[in-house]
Amino acid sequence: MNNMHSKIQRWSRVFFPVGFLWLCIAQSGLAYDGKLAHYERVSGISGNLSSIGSDTLANMMTLWAEDFQRIYPRVNIQIQASGSSTAPPALIESTAQFGPMSRKMRQSEKAAFERQFGYPPTEIRVAIDALGIFVHQDNPIKGLDFIQLDAIFSATLRCGALKPINRWEDLGIKARWATHQIQLFGRNSVSGTYGYFKNNALCDGDFKVNVNEQPGSASVVQGISASVNGIGYSGVGYQMSGVKLLSISKEGTDYIEPTTDNITSGKYPLARFLYIYINKPPTAKLKPLEAEFIRYMLSANGQKRVEQDGYIALSERFVLQELSKLDLH
């Protein structure tokens, strides 16, 4: 293990006017390139940071942490990726400064935070993700609509299906393996990915009891690659050999591919923001270490890492909105 990784401890459950804009950027330690600002080092940054939350964001947080520690060798960062539901308690108990979540914080979670501190947590959009529907590479199916997805994954059929789909032959697949039970893969209930798919693709219905719940996004896709009759949902950035990523539609056969253009335009129906929540008193400025890490994440450098990790970088408009919210201009 190299020196950089020795500083990063990861666990998982298995483990404006143009002139004003230029002034803001100059004061923030960022240099503007016409789109996103490139990060520039400032002096006096050292200390410890802790992140507890989403598995979906685990690799991205690690990439950001590695980069940040190269810039600031006197910074140590710990990353624990056990699921989005672990982020709010960590912020409430002050065991982490950053709570990555692949879904919005629930009202009950916000209320618990506000009871503790007297103000709500601060939400930061850091990337755009899309959930993909993965099948084995030998599966000839071209696409699925939401009614079919609900019939495959849900026991409650709230999206309009008249009966469940239990075998690929129910969808017209002609193969010997298509007569066997579909093998379902998904995330566990602490995952924001689980909650997002349940709310959006299953019309807030209940999953079938035979879904193979996985502790991580990568393990969902790996399971499908080893099961010719498998299907599952995971972030599109987890695509690997042995699986096929399907196009999907809200209804009918007008399937939408999960391309960058379709995701950022809103055409692809299973796209979402990824978030980091922090504890910021409304009238207080962020501590320099926390502020610089956020500036790095939202810089051109940090958003390049987003794309390298298989997700969609934020546009300049979104980045400026987040920086303004945090008084980081």
CA 236 – CA 210 distance, rounded (Å): 23
Q: CATH number of 3-128+272-325: 3.40.1360.10, 1.25.40.10, 3.30.360.10, 3.40.190.10?
A: 3.40.190.10
| pLDDT of 47 | 98
Q: Are 322 and 124 in contact (CB under 8 A)?
A: yes
Residue 233, CA distances (Å) to 108, 163, 168, 195 in order: 26, 21, 17, 12
CA 318 – CA 127 distance, rounded (Å): 10
| pLDDT of 37 | 84
Residue 85, CA distances (Å) to 3, 106, 191, 206, 209 in order: 31, 9, 7, 18, 21
CA 30 – CA 11 distance, rounded (Å): 32
Q: Are 63 and 127 in contact (CB under 8 A)?
A: no
Residue type, 155: A
Q: Which residues contact 21 (CB under 8 A, 6 or more apart)?
A: 32, 320
* Full pLDDT tens readout for the chain, 329 residues: 444 443 344 333 333 333 333 333 333 334 334 488 899 999 999 999 999 999 999 999 999 999 999 999 999 999 999 999 999 999 999 999 999 999 999 999 999 999 999 999 999 999 999 999 999 999 999 999 999 999 999 999 999 999 999 999 999 999 999 999 999 999 999 888 999 999 999 999 999 999 999 988 999 999 999 999 999 999 998 999 999 999 999 999 999 999 989 998 889 999 999 999 999 999 999 999 999 999 999 999 999 999 998 899 998 999 999 999 999 97
| pLDDT of 11 | 38
Query: Element (H or E) spanning 264, and its range?
Result: helix 260-265
Give the predicted TM-score (pTM) of the model: 0.78
CA 123 – CA 140 distance, rounded (Å): 41
Q: Are 289 and 132 in contact (CB under 8 A)?
A: no
CA 15 – CA 291 distance, rounded (Å): 29
| pLDDT of 214 | 94
130-270 is classed CATH 3.40.50.10490: no
pLDDT tens-digit map of 9-59: 433 333 333 333 333 333 333 433 448 889 999 999 999 999 999 999 999
For CATH 3.40.190.10, the residue range(s) in the chain are: 3-128+272-325, 130-270
Tell me the two tokens of residue 229. 């009759």
